[in-house]
Each structure stands twice: as structure tokens, then as C-alpha cells.
Structure 1
Amino acid sequence: MNTDLAPRLGWWQQTWRLTAAAAVGVPVWLSTGVLLRSQGVETGSWFLVGDPLVALGCLTALLWRRRLPLLVAVTVAVASTVSALAIGAALLALGSISARRRPVEIGVVVLAYVTASQFAARLYPVESPPGSLWLQLAFPALTAGIAVAVGAAVGARRVEVRSLRERAESAEREQTARAAQARVMERNRIAREMHDVLAHRISLVAMQAGVLDHRGDLRAEENQVLVRGIAEGSRQALEELRDVLGVLRADPGHPEPPQPSLDRIPDLVADARASGLDVTLTTAVTGSPSDVVGRTCYRVVQEGLTNAAKHAPGSHVHITLEGTAGDRLGVGVRNSPAATRTARPPASGFGLLGLNERVGLAGGSLSHHPEPDGGYVLTAQLPWPNPAHGKGT
């Protein structure tokens, strides 16, 4: 398994690892000197000078074990067999190469260490009991096995820590993406609500103001009615805008006020008539649809009236509602050609785009197109499942 997962070591970490490796070799070096003296063997200058120098060279080579792991490990493992003081450096090299968790590299270093250790007896001829050849093989193999086990455990821990870190970073990225998506959805929601609330009222106000501008033959009473309608429409637009902003700024746990549904369509038609729009409503709906379907139907009618007031002033608008539970709810808004020519208001197209998204989320379909005579038709088909069937499933 792979494994270049070793973190970069700082100066302090490097120092204490090398110090620990040197400390492990000191008892071995001292015990070897005591055994040699007890058997009357002169230690000589190599034991006092050469052995420590080799150990120092091995410890120094370990500084490059991250860059050249296999070469440093083999070199230290072989060199340590001629230095009792370098046994700690050899074990650290074995542990370091084992942390990489690459079996071939581990096997090469262990073989080099155990094989080279067999020649160390000629350097320090400590007397051994007869038949102790197996001990000369078992002791290096045992120490190498311990170093490999510790190094493999450290490597496994590094893999686990890296995995946990990557999972945490991935979760943080996903959280950031979800937050960004939530902000986009909230902006879209604000845009839809602002359009639904303001476009209808402002369109009616603009229609009334257009009548005042183009009709010079109106009586004083008619002018007053139109002015009052403009003032009332503006006031209602401000109140509805305040309600929307209040909902958007409310606490997450604060319940939202009830949204208009199918039963509010007659009020919507009455407001349009009071503003001077010629509207007729034909209803053939039996039952009460769900809140989502009813609210979507209300928005379809509202958008149709808004577009008629903006683009076809003075036209006749005919609204039809029909449907039964267990089938579909159909809504249609048709306006005749404009009766008067006024300055065409700017059209963004966002109203129908947002309405199409609303209808799609409700599981329905929306269509809109001009007619040959210059009128315009907006229709929607919304699913209306039977509540009794929904409870039985």
C-alpha cells in the first residue's frame, strides 16, 4: 500500500528522534565494552573512537531519510553492524522505512540488517556459548521485527489521520458549496416574491396613470377615481413589500404568514376591476386543492393580470378555472388585443421564467403564446391528486 504520507518534521521533532536513537545505542555500547573487559579483550581505539564516529555518521545520514528513504535505510542498517552505538540509528531507519508500508523496501532493509549483523561478531569477539548461532540470527531478527511493527503502526496512523483530514476538508468544501447554493436559492426566492408582490400592483398603477395621461376628456369625478386608485395601489404595493421583507428578515423558527391560494383569486379579480381592468372569471372547480397547487394557481392568474395590464391596456381579460380532485386543475388567462396604444413598459421576461419554475416544482406544465388576433393566452395544468388515495397508500 502506498504511503508517502509522512508529514514534514520540524527541527524539534528531528532532534528528539535522533536523540532517542542515540540514547538506545548507549546501553548497548556500554554493555559491549563491559563484556569485552570482563573477558580480557582490549577494546582498542576503534571502540572508543571509530564506533562513536560511525554512529554519528549514521545519525547524520538519517537527516535525509525523507528524501532518500531506501538508500539511507540500507546504508544505516549495514553501517550499524560495525558500531554498537549505532544500533538505535538502525532501528530508527527500519521504523522509518516501515512507516512507508512498502513490503519490498521493508524486506530489503531487514535482509541487509540481519545479514550484515552476522559479520559484527568478528569486530567484537565476545565469547558465546556453544550452539548459539541461532541466537545470533534470532536477536537481530527480533529487534528488526519490533522496529518494523512500530514503523508500520506509525504509518497506519498517518494514513488514518490523512484520511480523517481529507474527510474533514471534503465536508468543509461541501458545507461551503451548500451555503453558496442556499444563498443563490434565497436570492431567487427573494426575486420571485418581489416580482409577484410588486409587478401586479405597479402594473395596475401604471395602467391608471396611462389613462390619465392619454384621456383628456375625463370628467373631474373620473379623474378623482383614477387618482385615488393610483394612491391606493401604491399604498397596497408598499404594504405588501413590507410584508415580504418582514418574512425574509424573520427568524428561521418564526412562522410565515399564510400565502394566497385559490380562494383569494376572486379578491385578486376584484382589485383588478377596481383599478380599471376589464376582467371576467369563470370557475368550475369542485373541491379544494393542496396549498402548493392553490398557491401556484393564484400566481398564474396574478402573472396573467400583470402582463395584461402592462402590455394590453384596455383589453378584456377572461380567466377560467376548472378541475376536480384526482384529476388536474387547469387555469387559463386570455386577454384581447390592447384597446389603447401607450408607451410599452420594459419587459424582462423574468416573470414568466419564474412562473414556469413554480409550475414545474408543483409538477405541472405551463404554456403561453400570442393569438392571431393580437391577444395573448397563458395556461397551466397542475396535478390534483385525490387526498383519499394519498392516505390509503
Structure 2
Amino acid sequence: MTRTDYPWLLPSEMIDPRGPELPGDRGRARPRRTVRDWIIDTLMFVVAAGVGLLAVETLQKAHNPELVDAFDLIAGFLACCSLWLRRSRPVELAIVLSVVSMVAPLAGGASLVAVFCVAVHRPFRPVVIVGAVALVTGFAQVYIRPDPTSSLTFLLVATVVLLLLSVGWGMLVRSRRQLVVALRERALRAEAEAGLRAEQAQRLAREAIAREMHDVLAHRLTLLSVHAGALEFRPSAPAPEVARAAGVIRDSAHDALQDLRMIIGVLRAPDGDETDRPQPTLVTLDELIAESRRAGMAVDLDNRVDDPAAVPAAVGRTAYRIAQEALTNARKHAPGTGSTVEVSGGPGDGLTVEVRNAAPTGAVEKVPGSGQGLIGLTERAALAGGRFEHGPTGDGGFAVRAWLPWAA
């Protein structure tokens, strides 16, 4: 049996699908006896000795003192003492005691205790074998050493009842212990699964924060890089143009710091509480376009949505981030070219966002990037239940197009 055969089982249930394995099922469970073990072993010895003394009294009342001889007393005493070995070899001990009790009735109590221990510490098949041996030897004992004061039928029925009580009680104890072990292991597994779910939730939260940092900070830092590069390569630019570029750099750095502070606030907030800064939606798309125009980009906005405020917040935020990342990529890879942002759709039809830019002209300065922007946009659209497409256009430009579901 392997884990692939029974993937739903606990590790301890791999031994026996009918229940978990108990301590001691495969031999001695502890290297040393505990106080509890000593108490139980002593109790078993007393019970076996009590049953043996009861058998002695019964035989003596039969007015046949010769029925009890020195052999019976020695065999009964040794049988009771052998119960101290029941933890290491319960099956073998039960079979030996059953055979001994066939000729020495005083060992009958020890035999019943041994059968009980087998029913507690072994699965069903060994219990059946030991029970069958005990039943056969019990019937043989009735014929070999009969009790003159009782009928043969009564003795046979009493043998069966005592054996069934011993086996049944042992199996009941085993079932209860299996239940306790199974519940304990399921509790441990539930705790482990809860820890795994918590770790997964943390990982997803980190991925969401990383995606947000990429979308927000990449846009701001690209503005800083482009305008700083312009000032570097055009030191003789007119003073108004230099002042405008410096203003854009200052505003972009300030906004980047604000966005970074917001993200760090989310990381530090207890229980995932977010800051009070409003999240972007489709309504704030005009501000994004205006910011890009102030940075020197030629951006045209074609918003065909009648009421941008009616767009669900999650859909509007995803559309905003797609447009923001697309404009950031256009600014990186095709500076100085024009871009067009088209937004259309309505309830039931979905929301479509398309951003196109013309082919870059001249040499393009390489701006460092992770290359994960388009992958992130694809994941955003997929998480929202939509689609995302991107690729070059026929005139050498580049276009991205996303469709997001908008419930009616």
C-alpha cells in the first residue's frame, strides 16, 4: 500500500485502512514501562489470578479435591506471571496460554486476558486466529477436565460467552483508541493545513503588493528616468523647458514617495488593513492622461463609456492599471511618439481598453525594466475574468487590448 493508492488516508492509516495503527501494534511501544503500564499490568495479573482462584474454588466444591493438583497450581501461577510479557508477543502468548488452559483450568483467566490484549493491540485477522484457537482449546478443556456439577451444554455456552466478551471488549477498547488517535491526527493535520493556507494567503498578498508596486512605481520612475535623461542630453535647453522638466521630476518623485508610503502602510497595517488613500478607478483615468501629457507625451483619450462612475470599482481599477502600464511601456520603448487610449463598452457587454502607440523614430535609449509588465497585465485581466492581448501593429507600433466583464 502506498500514498498514491490511498491519498485520503493519514500516515498511521496506511497500515490498516479500517483504522489507524495504535502504539504497540507492531511490538513494544515504549522502551520502558511507565507508571500507567505498571498499573495496567498489575491489574491484568490480579484479574487473571482472580479468575484462576474462582476456578479452584469451583473444582473444590465439586467434592473432588484431587482435581486440583500441584501441576494446576504451578501452571496457573506461571500463566498469570507470563502476562507481564504480553506487550512484546501478545499473539504468541495468547496461543500458548490457550493450549495450557486446555489441560490446566487455572490458566483460563490468564488465557482470557491474553485474548483481550490481542483484540486491543492487533487488527482483525490475528484476533480471528487467536479467537479460533481459544475456542477450540476451550471446548477441548470442557471434555478433558469437565466440571461434574455443571452440564456439558452449560460449559460449552459459558466458554463461548466468556470468549466473546473478552474479544468484544478488547475490540471496543481498540476502536475507541483508534478514534482518539484519528481525531488527534486530524486535528494536527487541520492545524498544518491552516498554517499552509495562511502561508498561501501571505504569498498571494505579497504577489498582489508586488504587482501594485510594479504598476504604480514603474509609471512614476519612468517619468523620472525620461526627463532626467532629457536634461542630461540637452543641457542647453531653454530655461522654461528645463524648469518644466524639473517640475515633472519633482512631482513624479513626490507621487512615487506617496505611493511607496501607501504600500508600506499596507504591509505594516494589522490584519491587512489598508490606508485611507482612494484607489484609482475609471473616473481617474482623465487624471492619468493629464499627468502623461504634462510629462510631454502626446496622448489622445477616446472614452466612449457614458457614465465612468457606474463601472464597478474592481473593473475600473483593473482598466486604469492596464492603461497606466501600457503608457509606461510606450514612454519607455517609444519615447516621443503619440499614443491613443480607447475605452468602450457597457453593462452586459463588458469593458474594452485598448492602448496603441506609433513606431519609435530614431535611436531609443534603453530604459531598464523587469519585462514582467505584460505578464502582470495578463494576470490582472485573468483574475478579473477577462482577456488580454498584445503585440506589434502593422505600422511598426505596438498595441495592447483588454476585455473585462461588466455585469448587467
TM-score of the pair, normalised by structure 1: 0.86
Q: Does residue 1:232 correspond to 2:282, yes or no?
A: no
Mapped partners of 2:19, 2:393: distance in 1: 70
Q: Does residue 1:6 correspond to 2:22, yes or no?
A: yes
Shift in CA distance, 27/275, structure 1 to aligned 2, threshold 3 Å: same
Name the residue aligned to 2:384. Answer: 362
In 2, are the aligned partners of 1:195 and 1:351 still within 8 Å (CA)?
yes
Shift in CA distance, 245/217, structure 1 to aligned 2, threshold 3 Å: same
Name the residue aligned to 2:302. Answer: 282
Cα distance per residue 1:18-73 (max 9 Å; x no partner): 322221233344445556666372554334444423443x425524335xx2x332
Letter in 2 for 1:7: P
In 1, are the aligned partners of 2:49 and 2:80 still within 8 Å (CA)?
no
Cα distance per residue 1:207-262 (max 9 Å; x no partner): 11121122244112221221222122111110111112212322337455431000
Mapped partners of 1:252, 1:377: distance in 2: 39
In 2, are the aligned partners of 1:320 and 1:331 still within 8 Å (CA)?
yes
Q: Does residue 1:265 correspond to 2:288, yes or no?
A: no
Matched residue of 2:390: which SS? strand
Matched residue of 1:349: which SS? coil
Mapped partners of 1:117, 1:64: distance in 2: 27
Q: Percent of counterpart pairs with the same letter?
A: 36
RMSD value, Cα: 2.6
In 2, are the aligned partners of 1:192 and 1:354 still within 8 Å (CA)?
yes
Matched residue of 1:313: which SS? coil
Q: Does residue 1:202 correspond to 2:221, yes or no?
A: yes
Name the residue aligned to 2:112. Answer: 91
Letter in 2 for 1:196: D
Letter in 2 for 1:6: L
In 1, are the aligned partners of 2:349 and 2:405 still within 8 Å (CA)?
yes
Matched residue of 2:65: which SS? coil
Name the residue aligned to 1:27. Answer: 50
Mapped partners of 1:307, 1:149: distance in 2: 76
Structure 1 residue 358 displacement after superposition: 0.9
In 2, are the aligned partners of 1:335 and 1:376 still within 8 Å (CA)?
yes
Alignment partner of 2:89 out of 65, 78, 86: 65
TM-score of the pair, normalised by structure 2: 0.83
Q: Does residue 1:108 correspond to 2:132, yes or no?
A: yes
Greater mean alpha carbon deviation, residues 181-190 or residues 196-205: 181-190
Mapped partners of 2:20, 2:112: distance in 1: 20
Matched residue of 1:248: which SS? helix
In 2, are the aligned partners of 1:337 and 1:375 still within 8 Å (CA)?
yes
In 2, are the aligned partners of 1:369 and 1:377 still within 8 Å (CA)?
yes
Structure 1 residue 313 displacement after superposition: 1.4
Letter in 2 for 1:270: A
Q: Does residue 1:248 correspond to 2:267, yes or no?
A: yes
Mapped partners of 1:48, 1:325: distance in 2: 95
Q: Does residue 1:187 correspond to 2:206, yes or no?
A: yes
Q: Does residue 1:379 correspond to 2:379, yes or no?
A: no
Cα distance per residue 1:303-350 (max 9 Å; x no partner): 111111111111111111222223232211111223453430123221
Mapped partners of 1:109, 1:17: distance in 2: 25
Matched residue of 1:118: which SS? helix
Mapped partners of 2:134, 2:58: distance in 1: 27
Mapped partners of 2:178, 2:386: distance in 1: 51
In 2, are the aligned partners of 1:317 and 1:334 still within 8 Å (CA)?
yes
In 2, are the aligned partners of 1:73 and 1:94 still within 8 Å (CA)?
yes
Letter in 2 for 1:16: I
In 2, are the aligned partners of 1:210 and 1:342 still within 8 Å (CA)?
no
Cα distance per residue 1:254-291 (max 9 Å; x no partner): 45543100010110111111112221212211232111
Mapped partners of 1:54, 1:295: distance in 2: 82
In 1, are the aligned partners of 2:262 and 2:275 still within 8 Å (CA)?
no
Matched residue of 1:341: which SS? coil
Mapped partners of 2:402, 2:279: distance in 1: 19
Letter in 1 for 2:101: S
Name the residue aligned to 2:13. Answer: none
Matched residue of 1:378: which SS? strand
Alignment partner of 1:218 out of 230, 237, 251: 237
Matched residue of 1:348: which SS? coil
Matched residue of 1:5: which SS? coil
Mapped partners of 1:3, 1:382: distance in 2: 51
Shift in CA distance, 348/138, structure 1 to aligned 2, threshold 3 Å: same
Flag structure 2 segments of 5+ consecutive residues without an equivalent.
1-16
Greater mean alpha carbon deviation, residues 106-115 or residues 222-231: 106-115
Shift in CA distance, 293/334, structure 1 to aligned 2, threshold 3 Å: same
Letter in 1 for 2:78: L
- Write out aligned runs for 1:74-153 (5 A): 74-99=95-120, 100-102=123-125, 104-105=128-129, 107-119=131-143, 121=145, 127-128=148-149, 132-153=151-172
Name the residue aligned to 2:77. Answer: 52
Name the residue aligned to 2:6. Answer: none
Letter in 2 for 1:368: H
Mapped partners of 2:57, 2:399: distance in 1: 107
In 1, are the aligned partners of 2:288 and 2:324 still within 8 Å (CA)?
yes
Number of equivalent positions: 377
Mapped partners of 1:35, 1:216: distance in 2: 120
Mapped partners of 2:18, 2:360: distance in 1: 75
Structure 1 residue 188 displacement after superposition: 0.7
Greater mean alpha carbon deviation, residues 284-293 or residues 12-21: 12-21
